[in-house]
Amino acid sequence: MSAPTTTFVTAAAALAFAAIVASCSVVTGGTPALPRTSLPTSASAAAPTNPPAPPSDEDQIRQTVMAFQDAYNTQNWGAYTELMCSAMRAEFTGPTMDYLKKSRAQNGLTTVKITSVAVSGDTATVAMDAQNEALGAGSVSLPLKLEDGWKICKP
């Protein structure tokens, strides 16, 4: 190495070493830093926190519909059927499930935008605009039922 290069490398190494030593020092401003022996005593640290409110029925329904759509698009058929009520899930076996899988493969992805959620006791209806790669756009409504959480449940 040439003299200027050696000097630069040595200076850079010295600066890096000095930075490491300074960052690991327990001395601040000439006074040793005292170890903390207790928790902070601020009012916010001592105040009890309330748990967040549970999601509303409408929020849960929106989450269910979007998870159902995501499962369809990703072809996660186990998750897809788990989001159905038990009566509907019983119908989605064998040839019906084979048809659904074939249809998804042929028609591609579907995106949805929920436009409204109407809840009536333990049932709900979601209206949405859908856009499919092969089939185009359309408006759809989807019934749900409260059955161990909100589930898609076509009668």
Q: How far apart are CA 25 and CA 27, in angstroms?
A: 5
> pLDDT-based confidence at 51, cuts 50/70/90?
confident
pLDDT at position 107:
96
Name the residue with higher pLDDT: 55 or 2: 55
Question: 149: Cβ–Cβ under 8 A, 6 or more apart, which residues?
Answer: 60, 64
Domain boundaries 57-152, corresponding CATH code: 3.10.450.100
- Please state the domain extents for the chain: 57-152
Residue 140 φ then ψ, to 5°: -135, 150
Q: How far apart are CA 149 and CA 64, in angstroms?
A: 9
Name the residue with higher pLDDT: 88 or 9: 88
Q: Could you tell me the strand order of the sheet in which 123-132 lies?
A: 110-120, 123-132, 136-146, 150-152
Name the residue with higher pLDDT: 155 or 71: 71
Q: How far apart are CA 147 and CA 84, in angstroms?
A: 9
Percent of the chain with pLDDT strictly greater than 90? 64
Residue 20 has pLDDT above 70, yes or no: no
